Structure 1
Amino acid sequence: MSTTTAKDPVVGPEFINLNVHKAGLDGLDQQRINQIIQEASKGSRFYIFQQRRQKRIDEQIKKLKKQSTLITDFQRQQALKKADMIIVNLEQQRRVLNKIIVHFDMDMFFAAVEIKKDPSLANIPMAVGSMAMISTSNYIARRYGVRSAMAGFIAKKLCPQLKLIKPNFKNYSKESESVMNVIREYDPNLRTFSLDEVYIDLTGYVFENYSRKNNIPLEELYCLDELTDQIWQFTSLVVEEIRSKVFKETQLTISAGISCNTLLAKVCTDINKPNGQFMIKGNRNEIMEFVSQIPIRKFNGIGPVKDQILSAFNIVKPTDIFENRALLLCLFDDIVYYLRIYLGIGSTHLSSNNDDNNQHQQKSHSRERTVGEVGNFDDICLLLKDISARLSKDLRNEQQLCKTITLKLKKINFDVFIKCKTIDHYTDDEQVLYRIGKELLLQEMIKSSNKYRLIGLKVSNLCQTNEKILLPNDQLTLTQFIQMKSSKRKSIDESTTADDDNHCGDDDSDAAELNENGEYECNLCENTFRNPNKFEFHKRFCRGNHCDSQYGLSSDDSGDDDYYCYHSYSNNKDDDHHSEHHVDVKSSPLSDKIDSNDEKKDPPLPSQPQFLKCPICQSNTLFQTNDDLNRHIDICLNRQVCIELTAIAVDHDDDHQQQQKSDISSLSMKKSNKKKRLSSSASSSATTNQTTIIQSSANQTKIEHYYGLRKCKNE
């Protein structure tokens, strides 16, 4: 068959065309296959969706090209210097040449399991899936252009004799566990990314066995900056041994990629598929030569959108990234990842449990199930229950807890609905994950009766199980409450761990940052403050004036710390910023506690005396009991600073402020007359003076806004 390049012009959205970077799809007549795909897809929901998607990408490319014509020579020179500096810094970080990372990928896994069950399928084109979607195809079917993530009816157009097999995920999970048990013997801390894909760090196993076999001190091997050819040859033999054991145990073949980091190992896996292995040694010159020959679409993190955008500027290989580094830096804010691809620098970290460096810890976990069409609430709940159990297992395996749960629903028209909720404690309990997912699902299905083709859950906002966390029945201390600052959290596809296009946030919409003058600025009334405590008091009260609920919560229909995101479906993480349309609904961090309607009690102080910082006077004081803390706060409430805070929070109207100054002066005189009684009896004076200061029910409400966590006050 004749071959054409991947960039042959075709009519219709390019997203529908065959992705030839999948193993077994090279050397095909792409133009003929793409024409069949386009004609078979016309008029379908998927085709209409991809047309909209392609239009957005075309508009973005047009905008970027226009922007590139406006770049001056001076800007290019400055960008070039900056890009070169980034490269220098990345080269200094190239300290991973003494690691041995192996990526294993089962060959046509689902199809191979079915062929194992029915050997008659081995010599005919077959695929696992349905007329709606194909999960996996065997290598015979791939010669016709049939591949995973393709609609079954389109696959039938390409290969009329194709046999479709209904998937059996129970069997696939069982076989996957058998494979992982073999590989786990060589690295107990392996990192799985799917049922058929896993990374291992083989450094320890190779060093120990190579040291014993060649009578070399183990310390000498770990001190090597770059591994010798003999060590890499020994590694190749070990990987062959693993693949042989997997086949002996399961009668399934597996391919492997060997290198010094995950980026290169994954690319190497496809080189000799199926049932083969390929190795790139940890040598800079060999790495640079190998990378220069690989299309950038082959690298993890470069999806169809980025590929289209880069191809529009004739950037198709890593060497093109280097040659156009100044242009890229002028068009995009961050090009570090592109330069890492050019340099062949990837991660060497696999297990977050054994590394103290938080930047390598996984930021989220997600699980999804693709179905035909499902619109029944009970049926979706069954899927959610299974997904919750799997996510809970993932968290426990990583010794992590989550606080934010995100529901993802892909509608039959390929639009995606995402909503997340941040709860008031960290958890890995599958029942909690299921309950939150079910709650978010109910909120969506009440609004509209849609049918869905994909159901997914994602957990983020993670912490390690050994970190200090807030338990479900705990409450924030007053100091934590006052010092609580708003912050914007980055999205869960920040990682490159196969997260899907999910975004969630739990930041406060009323939040404020320091302005250019170093002052705190309220986003509601635009008043500024230099004292952070005054600002916090004002912010709580001001928010209360703008919202309906008692504690100043946003009066949205959920009342939770939610984030809505309606956007078009994307196969890759890199499409998110092109296709989203957001509607933000955010609320106070206390919303979850208030919505739960659970009885709230004053959190007890630790049994041992503890120094705490008073939020009013800012002094560090030793408190034995909760009553001691309450008495101290009541006394501080009588001081001038509380009067000033109340005055600031009441109103910002000029006339009203003048009246308040008069009230403050009057109250200050009353306060000075009672100083003696304060010093003689702190607890009784606190109650008396508090009654004097808080003269009206309105003022009392304002203070209790500020101390909403404390329900019981000393009588």
Structure 2
Amino acid sequence: MCEEGFLSRMALNDNKAGMEGLNRDKINKIIMESSKGSRFYENELKKEQQVNQRIERMMLQKAHITEQQLSKAQAQVEKMTSDLERGRDLSRVIVHVDMDAFYAAVETRDCPDLMDKPMAVGSMSMLSTSNYHARKFGVRAAMPGFIAKKLCPNLVIVPTNFDKYRAVSAEVREVFADYDPHFLPMSLDEAYLDISDHLEQRRGWPEALRTHRLRLHTNNTGTARVEEHGDLQETVEVEGLSPVLFENSPSSSPCLQDAAGGEVEVFGTCAEEAVREMRFRIEQKTSLTASAGIAPNMMLAKVCSDKNKPNGQYKLSSNRQAVIDFIQDLPVRKVSGIGKVTEKMLGALGITSCSHLGQEMALLALLFSETSWHHFLHISMGLGSTHIERDGERKSMSTERTFGEMSALKEQFSLCRELCQDLAQDLQKEALKGKTVTLKLKNVNFEVKTRAWTLPCAVATTEELFAVAKDLLKTEIDNVSPQPLRLRLMGVRVSSFASADDKKPLQKSIVGFLHKKQTNSSSTSQISHKPVKEHLPKPPGLTQPSACPSLVQQRQGQEGHAWVPSRGGVEVGRTGEDQHALTASDKMTHEPTAHASTSSCCSTEPESGTDSLTCPVCFREVNTTELTVFNRHIDQCLSGVTMGQNNHTDTELERGPKNWREEGGGGDGESAGDHTESTTGLLLYETSTANIPLSAVGLNPVCLNTCPNGGVSIHRGTDPNTLKGSSQSDPHVRDCLLSTGGPRPMTTPKPESRDHRGPALTCPVCQETQDTNDLTLFNLHVDLCLNQEVLHDPKGRTLSCNTMPIGHVVGLE
């Protein structure tokens, strides 16, 4: 049984144009004998055994189905059938166009010597397509080249040239766009079109618009053609209309001759004539032929395009009875979506045609998933999609390549980069960015493995994709070490595309007050590029090979970036120039009497069409309205703060309004008194990275309300333990210390070996920049600002800040 099952799986699928009337038994015997002992044979045998096990379980399930269950399922099927019948749409004219043996035809056009020879495009490992001469020997697409050689020893295998195929495909699509600007390409050589609107317009076209002159191209037949319009005189027959690459192709239709002696052809206004004109123009432009199917929906159009291949077309009438009659005797394998596994499972139930599907639908509803039997029901009724949605939501985009055995690391990484480059170009064309990168690998034993990594931000460039894919590939290489990773297929896929919903929040949130209505267009253009670069992943457990460091790290190292680990497995790089920009260049100017108001966060920079949010940590403008991206930026800032919060230098206590104005962010034209209201309760403790509030050194923050100098500054250079001596030399400072019972203990910061300054923080209440990146200290300062006037205790009494211990003010007690 296993041998028979294997033959059924590997048996020739002759449900393809040009393969009718073949000796299946002979071909299948050659396929089996050629495959035995190969990895391909072993893999197919294993898969066949799995399918047989599925069939056994299905038959066992069928044996336990009761009449009551069948009756209930039948009622459900009838109800759904009635609903679908009421929604049947026969008003659209859908066309499926399929180029004839596309890759092989392109190669034959460019090399006429292959015209009469059996040839295929691909390699000894796998064929992509074959011409119609080779199909007579049983050679077809998706067949290993070494088996094809057994079937046809004289077969010529030509390597693929996708750059050439894409160029020709672009020319074909230019013709499609004239009939349906929103056509849906399914691959390089096929597409769906809805020509309903075109037919409405075509009915009013004069004959001149439907007339095309033949231009003669230089080819193996010595004929050529031109698409022009002209007056008609007499009818002539033209031989060798195209370098048709197939025997028994439909002959050309009669042509007319204009006054200048040029040959022209006139087309009608109906659907058949419009499609014939389309195929004619494709042939004139590319010297290649196409086949087409015309039907009321996409499923039927796909089947019809295969009816008169090659170089032909078939139209199915748009009425219900014609559709039902057409579908009745159609083999299930002819329908798109039913492959060899489903075909075999249906065959085990005695279902081989679409009419059998309708007869056994209740049983199928009990044995198959809901999605599957719904699909079967649509097929049995001849229903399919009538809406061609080219710009629908794409779920993923990928590229992969099949090759001979590859085990060299250098070749594998090189191929991985090439795939990432190709995919990046495709993503750029569609303006897409994705968060999940997947690497697909198939080894020489035909075992397929996929590894994926989801990033915190969307990526699209070659470097970003390769940074992830390379690590995923390295992980798989390490898993099989010390044995080499022997591959025969590699692919890269990007999914989880950024959607419009992610980019536009539906309602205001707590970060609304950070929203910037006016931004600097020059600065936002620079910031917009940072999130992607700063969020490149380092998947947990993945290590870079010593001889192959991370490409992203190499780039950042060349640019002088200092790499800082951030949350979520992300590596964040900032240059020294960027760090300076965080503390100096982005300071905002405000009015002297700024209060605790969210509206004061707006900048006075020139207007820009780009919306942005202002980070509450670094107070930089982030050129995005996507909350997830904004939150990630905040995480980076918080991570940077944590890294540097203990990197203090020795300090000394001084007082002086001049130093406060210069270092605290005051404007040149503002006096010390101007800052009293917005900076009450703040003592600036200036180090390389942090500011310390008054509570940290035992001072009453509210004393600054009465201080004529408006504040006390601590500067570098002196140990904070000299604080007491400073207070004795200054009566005012001594009074401040005594008001809280003397100085509180303060831990001397540990000196740092290098000068590392984190991002400056700006108080949202007083609007003054604080020279610190310690959020704890910054939050204490904000609390002081919020409670600088009058405090109320739980008993309802009003207390003056001057009479309250500092611990009550800042919540330290």
TM-score (norm 2): 0.56
Partner of 2:171 in structure 1?
178
- Cα distance between partner residues in 2 of 1:284 and 1:398: 39
CA deviation profile, 1:110-139 (whole Å, cap 9, x unmatched):
111121122121112121222222221111
Residues in 2 aligned to 1:415 and 1:386: alpha-carbon distance in whole angstroms: 23
CA separation of 1:417/1:154 partners in 2, compared to 1, >3 Å: closer, same or farther? same
Cα distance in 2 for residues equivalent to 1:30 and 1:686: 95
Contact 1:127 1:163 in 2 (8 A): yes
Matched AA of 1:120: D
Alignment of 1:282 with 2:318, yes or no, is yes
Matches within 5 A, 1:295-306: 295-306=331-342
Equivalent residue runs for 1:524-539 within 5 Å: none
> Is 1:28 aligned with 2:60?
no
CA distance in 1, matches of 2:431, 2:406: 33
Q: Which amino acid counterpart does residue 593 of structure 1 have in structure 2?
A: G
- Residue number in structure 2 paired with 1:249: 285
Equivalent in the alignment of 1:444: 476
Aligned to 1:594: 569
| Correspondence list, 1:667-678, <5 A | none
Is residue 368–residue 457 contact of structure 1 (8 Å, CA) maintained in 2? yes
Amino acid at match of 2:95: V
SS of aligned partner of 1:94 = coil
Alignment of 1:164-313 (within 5 A): 164-212=157-205, 234-313=270-349
Structure 1 match to 2:583? none
Shift of 1:363: 2.2
Q: Which moved more, 1:103-112 or 1:40-49?
A: 103-112
- Mapped partners of 1:686, 1:68: distance in 2: 80
Shift of the alpha carbon at 1:61? 0.3
Deviation (angstroms), 1:175: 2.0
Q: Give the aligned partner of residue 455 of structure 1.
A: 490
Residue 93 of structure 2 is matched in structure 1 by: 100
Task: Return closer, same or farther for 1:688/1:323 CA change in 2, 3 Å cut-off.
Answer: farther
Superposed, which structure 2 residues align to 1:418-437 within 5 Å? Answer: 418-437=450-469
Q: Quick one: which amino acid aligns to residue 41 of structure 2? A: Y
**Residues in 2 aligned to 1:142 and 1:557: alpha-carbon distance in whole angstroms:** 50
* 1:185 aligned counterpart, secondary structure: helix
Which amino acid in 1 is paired with 2:345? I
Find 2:149's aligned residue among 138, 151, 156: 156
- Partner residue of 1:123 out of 106, 116, 123: 116
CA–CA separation in structure 2 for the residues paired with 1:34 and 1:626: 80
Residue correspondence of structure 1 range 487-506 to structure 2 within 5 A = none
Deviations 1:558-588 (A, max 9, x none): 59xxxxxxxxxxxxxxxxxxxxxxxxxxxxx
- 1:53 corresponds to: 47
Pair 74,607 (structure 1): closer, same or farther in 2 beyond 3 Å: same
User: CA 1:280/1:689 → structure 2, altered by over 3 Å: closer, same or farther?
Assistant: farther
Deviation at 1:41, TM superposition (A): 0.3
Question: In 2, are the aligned partners of 1:239 and 1:256 still within 8 Å (CA)?
Answer: yes
Provide the residue aligned with 1:557 in structure 2.
Answer: 541
Deviations, residues 267-296 of structure 1 (Å, cap 9, x unaligned): 111111111111223322222221222111
Question: d(CA) in 2 for partners of 1:685 and 1:349?
Answer: 74
- Say yes or no: does 1:409 pair with 2:441: yes
Give the match for residue 243 of structure 2.
Answer: none
Q: Aligned with 1:157: secondary structure?
A: helix
Partner residue of 2:359 out of 304, 323, 338: 323
Q: 2:359 is matched by which residue type in structure 1? A: E
Please say if 1:16 is aligned against 2:16.
no
- Give the drift of 1:380: 3.3
**CA drift at 1:388:** 3.3
Contact 2:182 2:390 in 1 (8 A): no
Higher mean C-alpha deviation, range 297-306 or range 369-378: 369-378
Moved more, 593-602 or 271-280: 593-602
Structure 1 window deviating more from structure 2 (39-48 vs 316-325): it is: 316-325
- What residue in structure 2 maps to residue 667 of structure 1? none
Corresponding residue of 1:109: 102
Question: Which one of 78, 81, 102 corresponds to residue 84 of structure 1?
Answer: 78
C-alpha deviations, 1:31-63, integer Å up to 9, x for none?
111111011100000100111111111011001
- 1:375-386 matches, cutoff 5 A: 375-386=407-418
Secondary structure in structure 1 of the residue aligned to 2:503: coil
Going from structure 1 to structure 2, the CA distance change for 1:398 and 1:73 (only over 3 Å counts) comes to farther
The TM-score, its normalising length taken from structure 1, stands at 0.63
Q: Counterpart in 1 of 2:383?
A: 345
Asked whether the equivalents of residues 268 and 274 of structure 2 are also in contact (C-alpha less than 8 Å), the reply is no
- Deviation digits for residues 656-677 of structure 1 (CA, Å, limit 9, x no counterpart): xxxxxxxxxxxxxxxx975769
Q: 1:180 to 1:423 in 2, by over 3 A?
A: same
Specify the alignment match of 2:503 in structure 1.
469
Structure 1 residue identity aligned to 2:134: A
Structure with more relative contact order (C-alpha pairs < 8 Å, separation 6 or more): 1
Q: Tell me which structure has the larger Cα radius of gyration.
A: 2
Partner SS, residue 12 of structure 1: helix
1:304 deviates by 1.2
Distance 2:26 2:387 in 1: 43
* Cα distance in 1, alignment partners of residues 489 and 283 from structure 2: 33
The CA deviation at 1:409 is: 1.0
Residue in 2 aligned with 1:549?
none
- CA–CA distance in 2 between the matches of 1:107 and 1:607? 52
Cα-to-partner distance string for 1:353-408 (whole Å, 9 max, x where unaligned): 3xxxxxx5332222221112222344334433443344344445555442222211
Unaligned stretches of 5+ in structure 2?
Answer: 208-266, 513-537, 544-564, 580-614, 628-761, 766-774, 784-791
Q: Find the counterpart in structure 1 of residue 585 from structure 2.
A: none
Q: CA offset at residue 301 of structure 1?
A: 1.2
Label 1:594 to 1:235 Cα distance change in 2 as closer, same or farther (>3 A): same
Q: After superposition, give the CA deviation of every residue in 1:531-550 in whole Å (9 maximum; x if it has no partner).
A: xxxxxxxxxxxxxxxxxxxx
Q: 1:150 Cα deviation (Å)?
A: 1.1
Q: How does 1:574-585 map to 2 (within 5 A)?
A: none
Q: Could you list the per-position Cα deviations for residues 584-631 of structure 1 after superposition, in whole angstroms to 9, with x for gaps in the alignment?
A: xxxxxx9973332557974869999x9x9xxxxxxxxxxxx9958x99
Task: Give the letter for the 1:315 counterpart.
Answer: I
- 1: CA distance, partners of 2:807 / 2:63: 72
Structure 2 CA distance, aligned partners of 1:11 and 1:159? 25
Q: Give the fraction of aligned pairs with identical amino acids, expressed as a percent.
A: 35
CA displacement, residues 491-529 of structure 1 (integer Å, 9 cap, x when unaligned): xxxxxxxxxxxxxxxxxxxxxxxxxxxxxxxxxxxxxxx
Indicate the structure with greater helix content. 1
**1:58/1:242 CA distance change after superposition, 3 Å:** same
In structure 2, what residue type is equivalent to 1:349?
H
Deviations 1:636-690, CA, capped at 9 Å, x for gaps: xx9xxxxxxxxxxxxxxxxxxxxxxxxxxxxxxxxx9757699999xx9999699
427-436 vs 40-49, which moves further: 427-436
State which drifts further: 376-385 or 160-169. 376-385
Residues 539, 569 of structure 2: 8 Å contact kept: no
Q: Supply the distance in 2 between the matched residues of 1:212 and 1:189 (Cα, whole angstroms).
A: 21
Question: Displacement of 1:436 after TM fit?
Answer: 2.5
Matching residue's letter, 1:48: E
Distance of aligned partners of 1:434 and 1:289 in 2 relative to their CA distance in 1, 3 Å threshold:
farther
User: Secondary structure of 2:398's partner?
Assistant: strand
CA shift, 1:427, in A, is 4.0
Distance 1:555 1:127, change over 3 A: closer
* More divergent stretch after superposition (378-387 vs 103-112): 378-387
Give the drift of 1:478.
8.5
